[in-house]
Every structure is written in C-alpha cells, then in structure tokens.
Amino acid sequence: MTSRPLALLVNPLLCGHHEAAWRTERAQPERIHSLDYFQQLARTAERGRFDAVFMADFFIFNPAVMYSPRWEVEPVTLLSAVAQATENLGFIATGSAIFSDPVEIARVFSTFDHATGGRAAWNIVTSGEPAAGANYGLDKPIPHAERYELGARNTEQVLAYWDGAPVPDDVAPIARPVQGRPVLVQAGSSATGRDFAARFAELVFSAQWNFEAGRDFRNDLRRRAVTHGRNPDDVRLILGLSFVIGSTEAEARSKKKALDDLILPHASHSWLQSFGIDLTAFDFDEPLPRTLGNIDLYEGIKSRFSVISSLVDSTSPLTIRQLASALAGSRGHHLVIGTPEQIADAAETWFLGGATDGFMVMPHELPAEFELFVDEVIPILRRRGLVDRDYRGHTLRENLGLPISPSAPSWAFQT
C-alpha cells in the first residue's frame, strides 16, 4: 500500500458522460428522475470503496435538455437523501460563492454535513457562466478576476461562520458542522483559479488530458499552496478519468465507436457553445476552422476553453465531427479505452508518477460502465496496493486523510 491511497470519486451524470449514452439499449433514461436510481449508483460506489460522489450545479437553463433526458436538481437536497442509503461514502455538492450569501452557504452546508453524518463537501464555484449572472439580475458577466476576488471574500466569511464568528442579529445561529468544516473543493484551472484553489481548497478538480500537463498542474498547485502558508500535502489534485472498458482493447474501441455513431450534431454544437466555441455556422463534416474563438473575450469558464484548444492543437482533428468524437464522454479529461488492466495501468502511472492524487471517475455509460469499473478495475487497484479495502473512518475527512478542522466538535471523530 502506498503511504496515501489513490483518492476515488465519481460523478454520476444521468445516463453517462458520453452525450449519446441515453440512446443505447443499455441506458435507463426512464429512471433518472428517481431517487432510487441515484441511491443505486451510490451503493455501487460504496461497494467499490469510493471516497465520494460529486454533483455539479450551474444555475442556468441547460440547453442540452432539448437533445437528451435531463434532471436538473439542486444537489444538496438530492445528495442528503441519497446519503441515507449509504454509511461511509462522502458527498460533494456545488454552492456558489458569488450568488449565495455567505450566511446561506454556511447554514446549508452545515446542515448538509449533519444530514450525512460528517460526510459532506462544498464544491466552491465562482459561477462564470454569463447566463447564470443574468438569472441573478446582472446586466453583464462579472469579469473573471473580479469574480475570484468576490468569491475569496465570501469564502472567507463562510469559513469564519463555521469557526464560530457571530452572525448578523436577525439570522438564526449556524450549527457547527460535524467535521468543523465540510471538505472544501474547487475546480479552477486558470492562473487565478489555481491561486484560489491553493488558498482554500483541499480537493481540486481539473481536466488534464495528458500526463505531463497533469504533473505540471499538480506541481504548480503545490507551489502555490506553500506561498499561502499551507502544507502542500493538504491540497489534493483530482483529475477526471474517462474510460470505455472491454475484454479486449478492440472490443472497447468498438464500444466507443458505437457510442460516437449516435452523437447528435446539434447537441455537440450546443455543448461547445457553452464554452465560447461557436461552430454552428459550419457543417458537422466540414474542416475544423483554424480559430475556435478568442479566450480573452470570453468571461465564462476559461480553463475548459483552454483544454479544448490544447487538445485540438495536439490531436489535429480534421472535422467538427472528429472533434465531437474526441470530446464526447471525456470532455477534455484523460480518456482510456481498453481492458480493466489497461485502465488500472493508466491510473497507476499517473498516480505514482506525481500527475494526480486521485481521479474523478466519469463513466461513459451509467450504470453499466460504472459497475464494470467497480467489479473489474477496483480489484486490480486493490491487488496493487493503490486503494484501501475498507474505509478508514466515518467522516469524509477521515477517509481522505485530511486534517481535522480545529473548529470541529470534540465528539465528531470519536469511534
């Protein structure tokens, strides 16, 4: 066993991360509106000794609803209910440090931590989508740097409330979280976002599709943590891991091609538009234009724009269809198509090589591909001593080996 095990999280996105997953015979789109479906996925994650389940929230109308089944729910409420079907699994929900008042965030996530018995985490977002700002009454997007400045001030206030700072006179007292503070999570990958993450976050999500980029990102994140007076080991990089599993590599590639053949062009165009890349004027089989857009003029999620541009520069897809196939399912995250051993090999190489501290598993298809991962990849990782066989405790902090917050109540970590 390594000194610290590989962290494993899963993002159970409806029918799967591949945009055409809902169109396969194996899909269960009729179940994605049921609590039982997500509880089943959570139980599968706990059977695989995953550390946590993650659900995002973007605070906007998702145009993908026009092209595929969706269930856009508020994650804290859903995950609080899902948690009741598990005992040790952690739960990560998104909360905006821009649009939500610090008192609201502090109360909601303190309650979330109590509802899960100390297994909660706050995914701190600075809400870069222009449409989200409009939904909250803004005439124009908040500039990138200003969003992070505001997010930092509000995050500091939330932490102060959890640590016992007095709340305004007309506000109900905030119950101290079971863990002192829920685990703090963030996904910024721009220079400003990295600095924010190094200052506050304990888990940092990122999309890095090749080993060298992951290693460089992690080293930079650790350096920045030191400049903020933190132990770099307390800041863990979690990279997305997208995969297709087959008994042979040929079978896995056949599964990927079958999914890609089901892609709807207008759905791919819509997803690219959400990151400032508008290719709707081009036919799906036309040559890819030289320039995807101007990142300096885009006030949304700049990091994903950069990942897509980097992938295009390195893989040179010839048409928009080829770009869509390259991004479908992985969305710019590391993609492995192969046998369980090949997927375990990739995870081991990245982890032991210092390119990541863990993975956010992003199955192309749910629930089938996730069950394959738990049944066939996890046993290999266990035999190699890369992951724990059992949970280390009952709280998310204990299971991740993260420091206990000094404001945690004395009874929180007693067994």
Separation of CA 93 from chain center: 10
Contacts 24+ apart (CB under 8 A), 225-232: 225/198, 227/198, 228/198, 228/199, 230/198, 230/199
Give the chain's domains with CATH numbers. 5-244+331-398 (3.20.20.30), 263-326 (no CATH)
Per the annotation, binding residues are 57, 94, 144, 148, 189-190
Interstrand relation of 334-338 and 358-363 (parallel, antiparallel or unpaired)? unpaired
Tell me the pLDDT of the chain averaged across its residues.
88
**pLDDT tens readout for residues 158-207:** 999 999 998 887 777 899 999 999 999 999 888 999 999 999 999 999 99
Please determine, for residue 415, whether its predicted confidence score (pLDDT) is greater than 50. Answer: no
Annotated binding site for FMN: 57, 94, 144, 148, 189-190
CA distances from 186 to 96, 127, 195, 205, 242 (A): 11, 12, 11, 6, 19
CA dihedral 268, 124, 36, 382 (to 10 degrees): 90
> How many C-beta atoms surround the C-beta of residue 195 within 10 A?
19
- The rounded distance, in Å, linking the Cα atoms of 112 and 122 is 9
pLDDT at 325: 77
Give 414's pLDDT tier (boundaries 50, 70, 90): very low
Q: How far is CA 159 from the centre of its chain?
A: 22
Q: What are phi and psi of 217, to 5 degrees?
A: -65, -45
Q: CA–CA separation, 1 vs 351, rounded Å?
A: 13
Distance CA 372, CA 309 (A): 32
At residue 267's C-alpha, the angle toward residues 263 and 273, to 5°, is 135
**What is the DSSP secondary structure assignment for residue 365, as one 8-state letter?**
S
pTM: 0.89
Q: Which of 17-26, 182-191, 279-288, 307-316 has the lowest mean pLDDT?
A: 307-316
pLDDT at residue number 410? 45
- Within 8 A by CB and 6+ apart from 260, the residues are 20, 324, 325, 328
pLDDT at 9: 99
Mean pLDDT of 84-113: 96
Determine the pLDDT at residue 256: 94
**Structure confidence at residue 145 (pLDDT):** 87
Which phi and psi (to 5°) does residue 37 adopt?
A: -60, -50
